[in-house]
Structure 1
Amino acid sequence: MQRELTQIELLQELSGVAEQNVNRHLSMTRDWNPHDYVPWDEGRNFSALGGADWDPAQSQLSDVARAAMITNLLTEDNLPSYHREIADNFSMDHAWGHWVGRWTAEENRHGIAMRDYLLVTRAVDPVKLEEFRMTHMGNGATSEGHTGAELGDRSILHLVSYVTFQELATRVSHRNTGKACNDPTADKLLQRIAADENLHMIFYRNICGAALDLAPDQALRAIADIVTGFQMPGLGMPDFRRNGVLMAKHGIYDLRQHRDEVVMPVLRKWKIFEREDFGAVGEQARDELAVFLADLEVQAAKFEEMRDRSLAREAARRERTGLAV
């Protein structure tokens, strides 16, 4: 039977892997400046400085793109909560601390650039955006959308499992949002952000992969907990469910993408269903994963069927309206 490692033991045993992956990240990442991705010549003052306040007619984004941009930005805004949780779990010592600082600084660019783009182009209501930011940051966030009290038995393994999937999910969402904006500037910006998210995902994925080799049962138990109960960190932000439905309906982020582009690639990378080093705890967790993934496939297929019918009805309604005119 595999002995369960303590949080301190896990940090100590994985510190070498963390150092290797910090160095790997620094060798691959490319620094960039948020101001280079903002069309400043489109900007003008709001009423406090003698200009005009926002009007919906000023936005060039579709309802879907606007909902996705707001959701993605508010997710980035809660960086202080994410920093606190990662720092508490990783510690600020040695390579762990270096990563926490570097990751936080890189993530902060995302919110800066996205907010500047949205305000300069008048793509969203700035007053409502600020109200949403205050509410969301006031509520805070933890991995999986839980409160701190609900995370009492969670460990570094749960955290690195969660952020592996979450970073990849965010990459998919940003990339598809860029396409939905129908604006080359927004697309270029969100491609840049998505590239960062992918490198962040690789760091966490490699740490979790090393944990699987170190403590297979313990790591897989954490992975199964995360996959079967996964929630995006935006859970609880204003209009999250409404915007989430819009995003799913129009291909920004849906169950199919979650299963096929996020969960399955990571599980395959870790060779979860090929490994032979699991004990009883790990085998049970793997069985739970298999059942969950089969059900997720069924749910994704049902959602796609309902979505296709809904979109077809909307297209027919638009056509009838156009003919009537």
Structure 2
Amino acid sequence: MLQKLVGNEKGPKISIVKYETFSYYKTLAKAKYWVLNSNTRKFLKPNEEQVYIQTWHGTPLKKIGLDVPGSDLDYAHEGEKFSYMISPSKYCSEKLVSAFGLQGREDIVLETGYPRNDALFTFDQAKVNSILRELDVPRGKKIILYAPTFRDNKRSEVSGYENASGLDFDKLKEQIGDEYIILFRAHYFVAKNMDFEKYKDFVIDVSDYEDVNDLYIISDMLITDYSSVFFDYANLKRPIIFYMYDYEDYKANARDFYLDQNELPGPITKTQDELVKAIEETRFFIPDARYSMFNQKYNHLDGINKGLEVAKKIIK
């Protein structure tokens, strides 16, 4: 199998190839199975003997693909390549079918839960300690994972997508710096535009860290905006806060949403002061009925050994 691997994965049957190199395309051409979590290049297409398994990179909150008004047919062309698509819920299946134009081929969508989320059910304290050491995270403070997405409508041909943190880090450090460390995980579209050197004792830039699941399991809470990361994170039953400081502009000028705000498993904040208040209130956090209902609807298939379950359905 071929995945876009950049880490230290080792094993007698694992070969690492750099993305979009000759070795990468050679491996794609020879592989029996493709396992990918995002769209391929337009010119790539599996042959009749190859099996393309699309795991996608997140249950969608914001509209994607053909569900975005005025979108091109790239998603439809990509969907035509799929042999199978993995889903964690009926909701996700419906949205992926619509976004990729899979109507009439719904049977290729396997509702098994996401194999990548196995790690959220199997970690132990030794694993947590190992990650904390690797990232050199100071002990004695709570850890906030802040993972905002990019803004479709905030892009320059020269500098790319704009920084989308939405935070005054000087003020935030004064407000919560004594108790909290922030792990900042930027979307890869804007990751290179961030510089936290002046906040190095308060903010750790983890945008280039390989496995986001590691960041989930070491953090005490998640703050995000419109990113899909909260779906997977909710499996941990830890606090989630939504910082939607530009909600009206995003909804009107970037992308609309599939979900109603009332379904989200955490408070919605629109100013930094509201965000800080929500952070302080996590001291008393217990997953409420809305949180439990969210997991039951969107994550109930996630669990242990989902990779094996998928493999048994596909590999023959």
Tell me which interval the TM-score lies in, with the shorter structure as reference length: under 0.3
TM-score, normalising length from structure 2?
A: 0.24
- Structure (1 or 2) with the larger CA radius of gyration: 1
TM-score, normalising length from structure 1?
A: 0.24
Q: Relative to total residues, which structure has the larger helix share, 1 or 2?
A: 1
